[in-house]
Structure 1
Amino acid sequence: MAIILYARVSTADQTVDHQKDQALAAGFQIDDVVEDTGVSGLSVPLKERPGGRRLFDKLRAGDTLVVRWVDRLGRNYEDVTSNIRQFVEMGVTIRTVINNMTFDGQTNDPMQKAIRDAMISFMAASAQAQAEATKLAAKAGHAHRKRIDPEAYKGRKPSYSKDQIDRVVELLEAGTGVNEIGRQIGLTKFTVSRIKADVPAAYARVARWG
């Protein structure tokens, strides 16, 4: 029976090591870490993330899945609740580092199952509400800065250049895979995937930064 930490990070101020250190400090003994780096938690469902797919392949009955919080396990209420319920139906127990919540995948008692399922719904709804509130606050802050000085806010500085976008497009048209493109150009596969998903937006982001 393995104890597996799933760590999703999507911003520069988050790291997999930081989430692992938090789990260890909370008393968890971690056997393995499955990670997703550079993946938006609000737009990409768990099963469409490389690490998320690994979780469903790797976890077995009796295993424990550790996450910082339930919002790591999906992009919204429906995704989080569906994934957690699928894991517990597999016999996997889910534990959170924050507040040490436990969703027991081993219980067969109907009352405990009912309480567990109610908690899953409540926690998932709370996580989505918090994420949406944070997103709205960020959008309001961006809009305020733009009103003060339209040129002041350009968004996050891109980690790639126009020449690199040109090369990504060229290699994609040649049928080259995302991993190989990243290796050749010196970008992460997640950055290449973001460029691939919206090439015009990538060019626009570079243009804003001159």
Structure 2
Amino acid sequence: MKGQNVGYRRVSTAEQTTDRQLVEVVLDVVFEDKASGKDAKRPELERCLSHLRAGDTLHVHSIDRLARNLKDLQEIIESLTLKGVTVKFYKEHLTFEGSNHSPMQMLMLQMLGAFAQFERTLIRERQAEGIQAAKARGQKLGAPSKLSAEQIEELKARAATGTDKSQLAKEFGISRPTLYKVIAA
């Protein structure tokens, strides 16, 4: 039974593009996420997995595009191959089919999946170190304040006189939690 050629492409941020992924592969359907690969709860991946049927082939540029977590990667591959779906990874030159379980390919999948998970852990560590270093330099993190110093003073004064907090938040274009943070500061 000849099924569909289904592509799955993923990048981590909205600024990145999937232009280099599966460029020369003829696909019937493509699912594309712009989200972290830290877990399998991605809208287009979930749509892709529910779309796939026996006889289909899932084409993925590389293992780390499908999953950055070894457990998720193994579960996805196992569920798809049991369903009769072939999974092809182009960068690693690996193909997984339900009828052909190669111990060497499973070893490669597990090793490469472990490296992808390790890389994700290193990224998180570097990110945390960068945040700590920025804080140590006194750099302010997060979005810039929506309120000027004058607006903050006016907001505090009006809140102190008993003006309705919901009305103040609406008037200044901020949420109530933000209003309470400003008042407390």
The TM-score with structure 1 as length reference comes to: 0.60
Q: Distance in 1 between matches of 2:45 and 2:71?
A: 16
CA RMSD of aligned residues (A): 2.9
Which residue, out of 62, 85, 92, partners 1:69?
A: 62
Q: Distance in 1 between matches of 2:95 and 2:5?
A: 14
Structure 1, gaps ≥5 residues long: 163-198
How many residue pairs match? The answer is 149
Flag the structure with higher helix content. 1
Please state if 1:104 is matched with 2:100: no
Q: Distance in 2 between matches of 1:119 and 1:60?
A: 25
In the TM superposition, residue 105 of structure 1 has moved relative to its aligned partner by 0.9
In the TM superposition, residue 62 of structure 1 has moved relative to its aligned partner by 2.5
| 2:68/2:116 contact within 8 Å kept | no
The TM-score with structure 2 as length reference comes to: 0.66
Which residue, out of 8, 11, 14, partners 1:9?
A: 11
Please state if 1:41 is matched with 2:37: yes
In the TM superposition, residue 130 of structure 1 has moved relative to its aligned partner by 0.9
Cross-structure match for 1:168:
none
Q: Distance in 2 between matches of 1:8 and 1:65?
A: 13
Cross-structure match for 2:21:
22
Could you tell me which amino acid in structure 2 is paired with residue 28 of structure 1?
V
Q: Which stretch of the first structure deviates more once superposed, 57-66 or 67-76?
A: 67-76
**Which is greater in Rg?**
2
Which residue, out of 100, 108, 118, partners 2:107?
A: 118
Structure 2, gaps ≥5 residues long: 148-175
In the TM superposition, residue 3 of structure 1 has moved relative to its aligned partner by 1.6
| 1:88/1:103 contact within 8 Å kept | no
Q: Distance in 2 between matches of 1:102 and 1:60?
A: 20
Matched residue of 1:15: which SS?
A: coil
Cross-structure match for 2:132:
143
Please state if 1:79 is matched with 2:72: yes
Q: Relative to 1, partners in 2 of residues 1:13 and 1:68: Cα closer, same or farther, differing over 3 Å?
A: farther
Q: Distance in 1 between matches of 2:68 and 2:116?
A: 10
Q: Relative to 1, partners in 2 of residues 1:33 and 1:97: Cα closer, same or farther, differing over 3 Å?
A: same
Counterpart mapping for 1:132-171 below 5 A: 132-151=121-140, 154-155=141-142, 157=143
